[in-house]
Structure 1
Amino acid sequence: MPISWRREHWILASVAVALTIVAGLVMPTWANAMRHDELPPVTTVSIPLPPLTSDAIHAADGAEAGLVQAGMMPGMGEDPWTVVTVRPGQSLADIFHEHGLSPTCLQRVVDAKVDNGAFRRIHPGDEFAFKRADGRLSTLRFDRDDHTRVVLTLDEKEVHTEIVERALERRVHVAHGVIRSSLFEAGDQAGMSDSMTLKLAQAFGYDIDFAQDLRVGDSFTVIYNDVYREGERLRDGEILGATFINAGQRYTAFRYETADGTVSFYNEEGRPLRTSFLRTPVEFTRISSRFSAGRMHPVLGKMRAHKGVDYAAPSGTPIYAAGDGKVEFRGQKSGFGNVVILQHAGRYSTLYGHMSRFAAGLSNGQRVRQGQLIGYVGATGLATGPHLHYEFRLDGAHRDPLSVTLPKPEPLPASELAKFRGVTQPMLAQLKMLEDTRLASASK
């Protein structure tokens, strides 16, 4: 026992000494940390404020509006703005009811006839903002378009209108990408949005099959713009000019608006990239029957010429006009079921058979543009399954749509060509310079 007792005391004594040493080290530091130095005296000086100018008032109003929209501005006699984003299926009446605004108030807004169509044509994602005074609607604002805001102010007697023009800015960017795994990955690496990359693919879609022709090492250089409003990015703009090197071949595309307002892409020589006809007017899963002088008809069970190409596709797949033209026939024909026949300029016509239904509003005599929706894949008429029967005719004679030599689009006329070159030559020089710079850096 005595020996065991002495050992315990020695241990306790050692612990006590250690704690004393630690406390001696920590306490001065803690004391310094908790010490409050005497602060120097503070002198308050009255400085007269400069007079408030109208520009300063407008700037303050704008800052307040921003705080109000963000929910950061305390109420000062009236409620802050309530911003409402339109949901699918909503009408303005639904929004007024949801936010406790009376039908009488809605009627006053509609009767103002400032932009009555805007109230009937609201879309999901549109925004309306309300401000109340004494519990009643005092102000309603909405954006008529990207650069026009309408503000309605309601008093007891009438509705006052203010149209506010909001300046748009287009900021131009230049990007370069190299295909490593996919076009969208290259676009992302180049700082482009997916939608802008898709626009790039659409510009070159007549020359390059991006599903089959893309190769590792292919590259693109592009000039495009984004749309800004009041310093904030609003949306994607447009491809202005681009080059694409695919399998060693160089393609160019420049966006150009002609004197009649038509916007298309042209190569550097002024020839449209858009072909006169789409080779295939539907996204198909497989070719179920080719053009032939004689085949066994799957329904009739006898040999008949097959004067078109059958593209198998799920029922309801969109069908597009192969080229610009006029609807010569829309209706039903024996064997074809629901069919559309388009007459194109000059000597060409196309036929689209077995549709499940026609595009809304499509009628005989109507003008259509290449790529315009005209109907949907089906199995009407003599058909064993859903597919598009597509025929291509030259001077009334049937040609194989898969091998027929399609007419080249007409180049820009001489009167437009000079203007086109004036617009595109600076961009072409910039694209070539960037291409050369990239190639030089890649070869080092």
Structure 2
Amino acid sequence: MKGIISIFLVVLLGMLVWTSYFSETENLPQTSVPSTSQNPVTATAQATTKILWPLKPSIPDAVIIPTYTTDKSAPNVRKYQVKYGDSFHLILQDLGLEKELANKLAYEISKTIDLNQFQVGNSYRIQYNESNSTPIALVYDLEDRKELHIDFEDAEVAIKDKVVDISIESLDAVINGSLAQTVLKHGAPEDLADKILSVFAWKIDFRHLQKGDHFNVIYEKETSMNEVLGTRNILAITFNHEDVEYAAYGFDNGSGHELFDAEGQNMSYAPLQFDMITSLYAQKRFHPTQRRYKAHYGMDFEANLGTPIEAIKDGVITRARYGRANGNNVKIEHSKDLSTQYLHLSKIDSSIHVGAKVKQGQVIGYVGNTGWSSGPHLCLRVWYKGKQRDPLDFDFPRRPDITEQNMPEFLQHVRRINSQMSQAL
């Protein structure tokens, strides 16, 4: 009898809880969900704390809240980032463009750029009409300081150069953690760390910086639409490592901006004129195209597409062909023990073939993005006694020093920079 009563009480209690749950649910306020045709401008006008974004077909029961920023100097421009599931066509539809116009613009976009450049996390901005808040243009950030301009009113698609502002900045900092952590801590562009490493890579082992090492750098910062793009050039820098001070000064010796020490000796031992070193020889590095950690037995130099690549020493060509991973690549044997290899070339120079003899400084190919590569660069590899080694372990020739003709102007430039840096301290 007691068992029957216990079961009855449990069932009764469950019914009470069930009834209470549904009565509370029915009293909750209903949330309005915008339709897929809703214009984002209209949605933003309806709420100040939440922005209801048009639903994506693949997420039927969710309200997506985009993160965007408004440029205070241009309040009719809003900045967004590409999200998973986005496409140019979908963004154009979500903006409320007529189907025919959206289709036409999407087709023109596909003819204008490689759609592989449309990636999650990339930035774009929408310009709205100031009087009625309707969208009139979309600008999408591309590589190499380029932008894709999509004009809704004229139905035109074009690639244009970004409007870039350059300012002279300085940073005096003590190393605390890594070089990159130190740079970011002081609010400087992240790529400034790569630029600094590129100057002193052949002088300082940046994998073993010491706490208390310090540097003072004058550099050019690039911005566009109040957004920091990065570092253009280092104009001058001193770096104190283990109580030894190194200095370098930017100067055009006739081949563009390069860095030299106070005596006019080139700081670079690379086989090309490059923008910055983006990766060193390492036993473990996250591969940008394979998306996994693996050894990187080379040294990567970011440079403009088509930049000439030179033989680092005299030698004989032992390989000049295309490989699935290495792209167009050339290998030079300098001695019985030493060889160098040049990867991801856009093309191999027509004079280069297996068995050909080359001289130091002779052009063997041009910077490219072939093979397993995520952008224009040269991967330099060094083989010593049949094994790959760190290129920084070898005493390769320097790039050209300041010419005798340019030396007086260079020395005057160094004195002027040193005076400016000492006054700033």
TM-score, normalised by the number of residues in structure 2: 0.51
Letter in 1 for 2:249: F
- Per the alignment, in what secondary structure is the counterpart of residue 172 of structure 2? strand
The Cα shift of 1:283 comes to: 1.5
- Aligned position for 1:139: 136
Letter in 1 for 2:281: V
Measure, in 1, the Cα distance between the counterparts of 2:270 and 2:160. 43
- Aligned position for 1:367: 365
Return the match for 1:105 from 78, 81, 101.
101
Letter in 1 for 2:259: F
Deviations 1:49-96 (A, max 9, x none): xxxxxxxxxxxxx999944446xxxxxxxxxxxx65334685423433
Measure, in 2, the Cα distance between the counterparts of 1:344 and 1:408. 19
Return the match for 1:407 from 383, 387, 397.
397
Measure, in 2, the Cα distance between the counterparts of 1:147 and 1:339. 26
- Aligned position for 1:25: none
The alignment status of 1:86 with 2:82, answered yes or no, reads yes
Q: Would the alpha carbon gap of residues 159 and 351 (structure 1) be closer, same or farther in structure 2, given more than 3 Å must change?
A: closer
- Per the alignment, in what secondary structure is the counterpart of residue 200 of structure 1? helix
- Per the alignment, in what secondary structure is the counterpart of residue 426 of structure 1? helix
Would you say the 8 A contact 1:148–1:165 is kept in 2? yes
- Aligned position for 1:8: none
Q: Would the alpha carbon gap of residues 67 and 119 (structure 1) be closer, same or farther in structure 2, given more than 3 Å must change?
A: farther
Q: Once superposed, what is the RMSD of the aligned Cα atoms?
A: 5.6
Q: Would the alpha carbon gap of residues 431 and 208 (structure 1) be closer, same or farther in structure 2, given more than 3 Å must change?
A: same
- Aligned position for 2:267: 273
Q: Would the alpha carbon gap of residues 89 and 412 (structure 1) be closer, same or farther in structure 2, given more than 3 Å must change?
A: farther
Measure, in 1, the Cα distance between the counterparts of 2:197 and 2:394. 25
Letter in 1 for 2:268: R
Letter in 1 for 2:214: S
Which structure 2 residues correspond to residues 251-400 of structure 1 after superposition, within 5 A? 251-261=246-256, 263-276=257-270, 282-284=281-283, 316-320=294-298, 324-325=309-310, 329-330=319-320, 341-343=330-332, 350-351=339-340, 359=344, 365=352, 367-368=365-366, 390-391=382-383
Letter in 2 for 1:205: A
Letter in 2 for 1:283: A
Measure, in 1, the Cα distance between the counterparts of 2:160 and 2:300. 43
- Aligned position for 2:52: none
Which structure 2 residues correspond to residues 124-135 of structure 1 after superposition, within 5 A? 124-129=121-126, 131=128
Mark the structure with the bigger radius of gyration. Answer: 1
- Aligned position for 1:430: 420
Return the match for 1:209 from 205, 223, 226.
205
Q: Would the alpha carbon gap of residues 340 and 116 (structure 1) be closer, same or farther in structure 2, given more than 3 Å must change?
A: closer
The Cα shift of 1:166 comes to: 7.7
- Aligned position for 1:227: 222
Report how many aligned residue pairs link the two structures: 301
- Aligned position for 2:7: none
Percent of counterpart pairs with the same letter? 14
Consecutive unaligned residues in structure 1, runs of 5 or more: 1-61, 71-82, 286-313, 377-387, 394-398, 438-444
Would you say the 8 A contact 2:173–2:182 is kept in 1? yes
- Per the alignment, in what secondary structure is the counterpart of residue 383 of structure 2? strand
Would you say the 8 A contact 2:137–2:151 is kept in 1? yes
Q: Would the alpha carbon gap of residues 197 and 100 (structure 1) be closer, same or farther in structure 2, given more than 3 Å must change?
A: same
The Cα shift of 1:361 comes to: 5.9
Would you say the 8 A contact 2:76–2:129 is kept in 1? no
The Cα shift of 1:142 comes to: 1.5
Would you say the 8 A contact 2:297–2:381 is kept in 1? no
Would you say the 8 A contact 1:151–1:164 is kept in 2? no
- Per the alignment, in what secondary structure is the counterpart of residue 414 of structure 1? coil
Measure, in 1, the Cα distance between the counterparts of 2:381 and 2:194. 29
The Cα shift of 1:266 comes to: 2.0
The Cα shift of 1:205 comes to: 1.8
Would you say the 8 A contact 1:177–1:189 is kept in 2? no
Would you say the 8 A contact 2:138–2:149 is kept in 1? yes
Measure, in 1, the Cα distance between the counterparts of 2:148 and 2:329. 43
- Aligned position for 2:314: none
Measure, in 2, the Cα distance between the counterparts of 1:97 and 1:108. 12
- Per the alignment, in what secondary structure is the counterpart of residue 206 of structure 1? coil
The Cα shift of 1:243 comes to: 0.3
The Cα shift of 1:195 comes to: 3.7
The Cα shift of 1:165 comes to: 9.1
